[in-house]
Chain A
Amino acid sequence: MRGAAVRIENLTKIYPDGTRALNGVSFSVAPGEFLIIIGLSGSGKSTLMRCINRLVDPTSGKIFVDEVEVTALPPDGLRRVRRQIGMIFQQFNLVKRSPVITNVLSGRLGYVPPAWSLYNYFPRSLREQAVAHLATVGIPEKAHTRADQLSGGQQQRVGIARALMQDPKLILADEPVASLDPATSHSVLRYVEELNRRDGITVMCSLHFLSLARRYGTRLIALKAGEIAFEGLPAEIDEQRFKEIFGEEAVEVEIA
């Protein structure tokens, strides 16, 4: 399994209300990298992530995933690219009334014949695979629990298992631990790190906390008001540097 390469050229997003969320952003991610994106609230981290799988349509600029120009794809091609990109959300975004296993299996929808979905049919092999992914994230016994009966950390692990179900080449994690306590944050991020190291999946992960960013990433990008303010190794950005980029008053909020 080899991770995907991502190349972003001059990406700009202006929302209909006139907000310029991204302004001419360009960078590349090599296969197998663990890229951390940091930035203050409103700096455009989510917008950037969502442009990559086109949950948000960019205003201009190009995005390539393994040399496929995502920004130029028709709906059919877009779905084929999306199914290789797992996404993990801050709010987990599970279907709360459905059992955990259904949530995990839904990660496979891009591959299975649409007619199966009418009957909620998944073959035995996929069901076994789903339980195996739940075992990977440490909660195989929760397969038949309703998703809303899990703790936050457990729900996020279901989110990871759902992404794994896609056999992803790239994982987009948009503040995956922002609603979790520090200990749980580490356990969730360790699972993501393991996927990155073991399977070579490329990871792009936005984080609020500098301490987490320095602990997990192989490379780091800092966004400020929709533009790249820093690009380099996580170790290169210490509190001093962080203050220089974001200003004095940002520090207390952002570093815990």
Chain B
Amino acid sequence: MGTNTETPTPRAPEVPRPGAGALRVILWLIFVGVIYVYGWQVTQINLGELGRKAYLIKPLANDLIRPDLIERRPRLQVADAGIGLDGAAAPAPLETRGPGRITLSPTQAAIGARVTVSGEDFAPSRPVDIIWFDQSGVKVQLTKASTDASGRFQAAVTVPNVIGTMHHIMAEVGLEGTTLGPSNALRLTLFRMVETVFLALMGTTMGVVLAVPLSFLGAKNLMARNPIGVFVYYVIRTVFNIARSIEPLILATVFAVWVGIGPFAGVLALGIHSIASLGKLYSEQIESIDPGPIEAITATGASMLQVVRYAVVPQIVPPFIAFTIYRWDINVRMSTVIGFVGGGGLGFLLMQYINLLQWKQAATAVWAITLVVAAMDYLSAVVREKVV
């Protein structure tokens, strides 16, 4: 670098050419116009279809306002046996009502394979429903049969197109008379509702527990005191930024492959995303704290931990709580749909019902999702009011 001692010659101020501004505006308008015309085409927007194809959505909409909640059920004798797909071992049987037993042959199969179901010790000369009992809890009727005079039956079924590897085949033998009670869809939905809330809870907790310590390592004002600290800071921030940019739905897809379809995959997906999002927010909060009190407490002879407790914690805890509630709201929403990609919860159930075209049951799940999100929104609003 050399020093420049010459005084710079003053330059004439730029005189705008007349018309240049207008031309620029027109070019911009053309550019924006081209973008939207192309966007309209590429996304195949066709407003006419909304009216012309309304008949297609009508049955679905009708079913949506008549969710499957209560059902009149025949009195049943029930027995089941496990079946493993794609090489998985057959799971243990689940429930038995009455003296009957069934056996499968083979007990391991693949989608589309034929399986023989044989039953014995049921009520004699009664109709039998043979049902596929899915890993998510969904039931699909496979075929019908009837017991002979000695209470036996035999039937051949085809493995339906299902997700997951551990399933059951169930025989329901109808007795005389009926009972009224909550439908299978309602009971399953309630179970998955609880699972959904806990999915959000565990994911958020995992996020908070790991984001809190990591956020200190990702705060520049704490770490930029020596080269190692600076290195750690950049590593942590980079990891946060990369992990944050991966959508939880994609993470859930990956974890469903890794740990299997189910809520655990969902917890991991929400957890990882929460660590990164919360970690970044927490770190930025730590970076914005007032250094004055830290100096003052250090000057009293307090130890490092005491400085953190008395000068740092009071400055960061209230905002941390606010961020955490915000993340909880997002995770509740996310946990209702993360099942679409194998992450468990209500979404898993809804997906299964949609795949099987069981619209009334799907409606039950949709309403449950709405209910959960609204209830949790209300809850967090109350907590926010109290704490922040």
Which A positions have Cβ atoms within 8 angstroms of B?
Answer: 53, 55, 79-87, 89, 91-98, 102, 106-111, 114, 117-118, 120, 159, 162, 165-166
Cβ of A249 to closest chain B Cβ, rounded Å:
27
Assess whether B299 is in contact with A109, with CB atoms less than 8 Å apart. no
What are the interface flags for B289-308 relative to A under an 8 Å C-beta threshold, 1 for contact and 0 otherwise? 01011011111111101100
A-B contacts besides A55-B295, A93-B296, A109-B300, 19 pairs, CB < 8 Å: A53-B299, A55-B298, A87-B296, A87-B299, A87-B300, A89-B292, A89-B296, A94-B296, A95-B297, A96-B290, A96-B293, A97-B315, A106-B302, A106-B311, A107-B300, A110-B301, A110-B302, A117-B305, A117-B309
Assess A118 versus B296: contact at CB under 8 Å? Given A95-B315, A97-B318, A98-B314.
Answer: no
Assess whether A79 is in contact with B293, with CB atoms less than 8 Å apart. no
Cβ of A178 to closest chain B Cβ, rounded Å:
14
| CB-nearest residue of chain A to B296 | A93
Assess whether A162 is in contact with B296, with CB atoms less than 8 Å apart. yes
- By a CB distance below 8 angstroms, the chain A residues around B298 are 55, 82
Assess A80 versus B301: contact at CB under 8 Å? Given A97-B314, A117-B309.
Answer: yes
Cβ of B292 to closest chain A Cβ, rounded Å:
4
A-B pairs under 8 A by CB, number = 79
Assess A85 versus B306: contact at CB under 8 Å? Given A95-B311, A95-B315, A97-B318.
Answer: no
- By a CB distance below 8 angstroms, the chain B residues around A108 are 300
State the CA gap A89–B293 with chains docked (Å).
Answer: 10
Report if B231 contacts A (CB, 8 A).
no
Give the dominant DSSP class at B's interface: helix
Residue count of chain B within 8 Å CB distance of chain A: 20
Query: Could you list 23 A-B pairs, sorted by A, with CB under 8 Å?
Result: A55-B299, A79-B302, A79-B303, A82-B301, A87-B296, A87-B300, A89-B295, A92-B292, A93-B295, A95-B293, A95-B297, A95-B311, A98-B314, A102-B310, A106-B297, A106-B302, A107-B300, A109-B301, A109-B306, A114-B305, A117-B309, A159-B296, A166-B301
Cβ of B286 to closest chain A Cβ, rounded Å:
15
Q: Which of A83, A95, A117, A118 contacts B301 (CB 8 A)?
A: A83
State the CA gap A214–B301 with chains docked (Å).
Answer: 32
Q: Which of B307-357 contact A (CB under 8 A)?
A: 309-311, 314-315, 318
| CB-nearest residue of chain B to A97 | B314
- By a CB distance below 8 angstroms, the chain B residues around A107 are 300
| CB-nearest residue of chain A to B308 | A117
Assess whether A106 is in contact with B295, with CB atoms less than 8 Å apart. no
State the CA gap A80–B305 with chains docked (Å).
Answer: 16
Cβ of B316 to closest chain A Cβ, rounded Å:
10
**A93, A96, A162, most chain B CB atoms within 10 A:** A93
State the CA gap A114–B301 with chains docked (Å).
Answer: 12
Q: Which of A80, A82, A165 contacts B299 (CB 8 A)?
A: A82
State the CA gap A89–B318 with chains docked (Å).
Answer: 26
- By a CB distance below 8 angstroms, the chain A residues around B301 are 79-84, 109-111, 166
State the CA gap A87–B315 with chains docked (Å).
Answer: 21
State the CA gap A97–B309 with chains docked (Å).
Answer: 13
Cβ of B289 to closest chain A Cβ, rounded Å:
10
Cβ of A49 to closest chain B Cβ, rounded Å:
10
- By a CB distance below 8 angstroms, the chain A residues around B315 are 95, 97
| CB-nearest residue of chain A to B312 | A95
**B290, B302, B309, B315, most chain A CB atoms within 10 A:** B302
- By a CB distance below 8 angstroms, the chain B residues around A120 are 309
State the CA gap A120–B309 with chains docked (Å).
Answer: 9
What are the interface flags for B277-297 relative to A under an 8 Å C-beta threshold, 1 for contact and 0 otherwise? 000000000000010110111
Cβ of B14 to closest chain A Cβ, rounded Å:
37
- By a CB distance below 8 angstroms, the chain B residues around A81 are 301
State the CA gap A159–B292 with chains docked (Å).
Answer: 12
Cβ of B322 to closest chain A Cβ, rounded Å:
13
Cβ of B46 to closest chain A Cβ, rounded Å:
57
Cβ of A196 to closest chain B Cβ, rounded Å:
19
Cβ of B306 to closest chain A Cβ, rounded Å:
5
Assess A93 versus B292: contact at CB under 8 Å? Given A114-B305, A117-B309.
Answer: yes
Cβ of B387 to closest chain A Cβ, rounded Å:
13
- By a CB distance below 8 angstroms, the chain B residues around A117 are 305-306, 309-310
Assess A93 versus B300: contact at CB under 8 Å? Given A98-B314, A109-B306, A117-B306.
Answer: no
Cβ of B297 to closest chain A Cβ, rounded Å:
6
- By a CB distance below 8 angstroms, the chain A residues around B297 are 95, 106, 109
Assess whether A162 is in contact with B295, with CB atoms less than 8 Å apart. no
State the CA gap A81–B299 with chains docked (Å).
Answer: 10
Assess whether A82 is in contact with B296, with CB atoms less than 8 Å apart. no
State the CA gap A166–B309 with chains docked (Å).
Answer: 18
Assess whether A94 is in contact with B293, with CB atoms less than 8 Å apart. yes
State the CA gap A91–B290 with chains docked (Å).
Answer: 11
State the CA gap A173–B292 with chains docked (Å).
Answer: 14
State the CA gap A159–B295 with chains docked (Å).
Answer: 13
- By a CB distance below 8 angstroms, the chain A residues around B305 are 114, 117
State the CA gap A53–B299 with chains docked (Å).
Answer: 7
State the CA gap A97–B321 with chains docked (Å).
Answer: 15
Assess A95 versus B310: contact at CB under 8 Å? Given A89-B292, A106-B297, A162-B296.
Answer: yes
State the CA gap A42–B303 with chains docked (Å).
Answer: 30
State the CA gap A21–B306 with chains docked (Å).
Answer: 30
